[in-house]
A and B are shown apart, each in its own frame.
Chain A
């Protein structure tokens, strides 16, 4: 197997006296979809925020493409190519759709033409964004905002895309769209790390999966394996 693109070792995060993530290890391989599933409060979002440098890691090491990025500032992590679509989307509602997308390219220094080309690419992926480009992002419906959030993250030319529950609160038809899109952009070569409550679907599209319980990784395997794992079925699929 090739060396992992992103490697996390012994990651711990505490809030005051509560340890939300208790020393976890996992790896993302280039070009794969990896998923992290778990119950409410298991520490999934915290893990992602720690990867992006938005919460302080109490211990652990993160290597990305062979380089230690553990203590880097959030903007350095983004410019390095690790970009997150956060829980609740964090669209900038007072900016227009186009401005949101342009801001996505904030860390890029490769010229306006390249950025414009990427924006066109995103517009082909999500045509509705093109229609609403000059409108305020706050006026988009929940699903459209989710698309915008993904599109904005892609404007950063990420090498790894971190997604925190992208399907939450979306109509079934949109959820299908989102998962389809994820697979499409994955096929374009993007590495994806997906946190989902929608465990079944996440496992279905994942190459590799981890299960987290109260801050610790308790199971790992390929998506298919875990889908068939009785413990997973029992705890997360509600069968």
Chain B
């Protein structure tokens, strides 16, 4: 495969390899096959202590999917010459789908590598890794869904394994409780989501995103109420997946109680998955509603949710004592930032692509820095040191490199200049301002200033405070966890010079949706 290939490009140059059209969903297929392979291995050789085998297979699978995705992204699959649709248009592969698949697969790879240490001595490794792969598969499917039917089905496909994964520590009450809450709110939200879809079907008579948009082209006069309720309920379903107010209630508990690698996975990849469908559905199907009469101003609804989410997440995070729960709330706050990508859209606005692209770039960087932060927590849980800020005091004396990585994550999450997180937040706020939503940017800037307070508490605990004698338990170096944390930190730092490329890709992908 030395030649650069363009999948199904209409005007392929003679030297380029042209792959059949169906190969565009190769990343999805790889993830599915990996999950099924894990189940098969477990069925054929049951009872073997296969933690290492399973981790290896899963890591290989997600890295293979990542490689193919990045290759497609570079080669222009679904971008040059328009998006590729499959299965009677129910599936679409374009720049945005590939961009987000890259996020999911890289987060999954990090989490798998970290889980190898975390799961040492646990039973049911096969279930863990297969569920993880299936959840990733569900997210990848969400990214390529082009019909409300596939959106709903793949959203469930991502949720179901997540419920089980949150409750993976079956004998830990925190894990079980968080799993229950996650599941119950999830079930309720998916019922709301399904009802919203049914109402949209009621007014348009179709589920394909492009057909729904066509159904709205003539306006909503006569049934604005039904359409509006449907649209807002669909927004609610996405708010659940992205942990946005008022569907966020499961998040602090689920992230706190779940095994830390799963918290990392859910708060980074799952959130991004919620955003990719929300971006696609709203930008493809519901744009005509913004200037219809009577108007269904869902962008304003997202603006309200974004403001409330930013404020609530950051304020609640500022007063936490438990580091993991603090990160959980901060993750809610970041959902608020990414919501700006929807809130700042306007009918026919020239900045729509920039705004959404900036939100996508933020989610990419967030994927690395937030996963890294939670994996650091996983490391601390692995050592059994404790959970509060005081327990973290002086950890840098025992684990300087991991603590340095954590400092990078914290400052980057806070959006301090010189780390990737600053650029992405800056691009986001700047594009919101140019789209005329300066007040969203202002709320974002003020809440991220507040966030610096609680993020720097972690750095202070790690680097400045003295150990209080509970660090003797640290007697081992979990290689996989270390590798994952350091890799995430390197990626966060490398996204500093690499940010222009990421932003450019994201904006191109987002602009294609509005073309």
A and B part of one assembly: no
Which residues on B are within 8 Å of A, measured CB to CB? none
